Structure 1
Amino acid sequence: MGADQFPLELDSSAFALTGQGKVRGDEDFVFYNQPMLSGGGIQRSSDGRQFTIDFQSLPSAIEKIALTLTIHQGQRRGQSFSQLRQVTVELRDAQSKAGIATFPLATGGMAETALVVAELYRRNNEWKFRAVGQGFVGGLGPLASHFGVAIDDDPDVAEPPPPQPAARPIPSVRNQPVPQPTPVTCVTSRSIRKNHSGEKATRFAEEDWSRVR
C-alpha cells in the first residue's frame, strides 16, 4: 500500500475475519506490534508497506482479510486523509511479483482518520479481491471495534488533563481591625533624582513518504 504524497504518519493493519466479519480474537489483528497472524498466513513487512498472504496457511475459519490504514494520532493532531490526494493498494503474485490488481483511492475530501482500503474474501473456495474505501472517524479505536478488537491504548484518545490545585479560600474581612496610617517624612523635589535608564531586548527565532510504523 502507498500514497502519492506522504505528510502524515500512517499505520497499516490487516484484520483476519470470519464469515460474520469479525475476528476470532485479538490474535487476528495484524499490525506493527503483532506483525504476523497467529499460526501463519499473514505477514506484515517492517515498514508497513506490504502484507504477504499465504492462502494455504490461513485457518479454515478465516474467510475475509481487511487491509486498512490509520493516521497515527490523527484526531489529536487535527489531521485526516483529506491531506493526501490518494492512497493505492496493489496486489501482486508473491513468487513472480507480477501485478494482479491496482486500486487508487482518491482521498482529497475525506475527513476520516481510518480507512478500509480493500479486502480479500473467499467465495466458492476461491480468493477474490475487492476495493472498499470505507472511512472511520476517530482513528484506530472505532476501526478495530468495528471488527471486534478492543484497543486498550488507543493513540487517538487524549490523556486527561492534570488535576487543578484547589483554590485558596479568601479570608473574611469582617470584624478585622482597620489599619492606622503610618507617618511619612516629606522631602523636597530637589533632593530626589530619577534614573530612567533601561532597555528591552526581544529575540526572534526564526514529500516523499513519512515512515509508516
Structure 2
Amino acid sequence: MTISLVKGQKIDLTKGNAGLTNIVVGLGWDPVEKKGFFSSKKIDIDCDASALLLDENGKLHGKNLVCFHNLRSPEGSVVHSGDNRTGEGEGDDEQIQVDLARVPANIHKVLFVVNIYDCINRKQDFGMIKSAYIRVLNKQNDQELARYNLTENYAGRTALIVGEIYRNNGEWKFSAIGEGTNSAHVDLLARDYM
C-alpha cells in the first residue's frame, strides 16, 4: 500500500519491509502547455534527476554525484536510468536504483534533486512544470512504498531538492523535502554540499 506524503513527512522504508534491499526512486514531471489563441503547445523542458551520496556531515566527496553525465556511483550501489529529455509519456520520467545493502558505510544520506538543463539560456524555471513527484518502489515486486506529489508553486526556481533516503539506527528512512533552489546546473548544486 502506498503512503502519500506531505512536505517534511518521514517514513521508515526497511523497518516495516523485512528484507527490502533494492529500491527504485522514480521521478516524474510534465511541462505545462503554453496556451495560444487557437491552440496550445507543450514547452520543451529538459529536467534532470540526480542523486548526491552524502556522508554523516552532509558532505559530498569524490564521484558520489549520480546524474546524466555519471550514471553510477563508484561502487555501483546507486545507478541512474539515463536522461529523458522531454518529460513526455506516462509514469516515471527518470529512475534511480539504490541497492541499500551496497551503499558504503560512510554514506548516510542519498539526496534526490531535479534541475532544468540549460535553464538560463532557455529562460525556464519550475513554474513551467506541473505534476512533479517522487516515489519509492520495492524493486523486487514494483510495489510503490511512498509517493510525494510536489504541489507548491516553484516559479523562479531552477532546481528542486525533492527527497532523501537516510540511515537511522540501522534502518533506512525516506523524507519528503520539496525545497526549491536557484542552482542552474546539478554540478553547481553539488558544490553546496562540498
Gaps of 5+ in 1: 149-213
Find the counterpart in structure 1 of residue 149 from structure 2. 104
Is the Cα–Cα contact under 8 Å of residues 31 and 128 in structure 2 kept in the other structure?
no
Scaled by the length of structure 2, the TM-score of the pair is: 0.71
Q: Does structure 1 residue 15 correspond to structure 2 residue 52?
A: yes
Find the counterpart in structure 2 of residue 136 from structure 1. 181
**Match among 166, 171, 176 for residue 126 of structure 1:** 171
- Distance in 2 between the 1:86 and 1:107 partners? 10
Is the Cα–Cα contact under 8 Å of residues 48 and 83 in structure 2 kept in the other structure?
no
Which structure has the larger Rg?
Answer: 1
Scaled by the length of structure 1, the TM-score of the pair is: 0.65
**Per-residue deviation, 1:57:** 0.5
Output aligned runs, 1:17-32, within 5 Å.
Answer: 17-25=54-62, 27-32=63-68
- Distance in 2 between the 1:109 and 1:24 partners? 29
Is the Cα–Cα contact under 8 Å of residues 71 and 81 in structure 2 kept in the other structure?
yes
**Per-residue deviation, 1:4:** 3.8
Output aligned runs, 1:9-158, within 5 Å.
Answer: 9-25=46-62, 27-47=63-83, 49-140=94-185, 141-148=187-194
Higher strand share: 2
Residue aligned with 1:106, SS: coil
Percent identity over the alignment is 29
Find the counterpart in structure 1 of residue 28 from structure 2. 2
Deviations 1:111-155 (A, max 9, x none): 11011111001000100000111121132244111122xxxxxxx
* Higher RCO (C-alpha 8 Å, min separation 6): 2
Residue aligned with 1:82, SS: helix
- Distance in 2 between the 1:109 and 1:32 partners? 23
One-letter identity of the residue aligned with 1:146: D
Is the Cα–Cα contact under 8 Å of residues 137 and 146 in structure 2 kept in the other structure?
yes
- Distance in 1 between the 2:104 and 2:56 partners? 12
Aligned residues: 147
**Per-residue deviation, 1:107:** 4.5
- Distance in 2 between the 1:109 and 1:41 partners? 31
- Distance in 2 between the 1:13 and 1:61 partners? 19
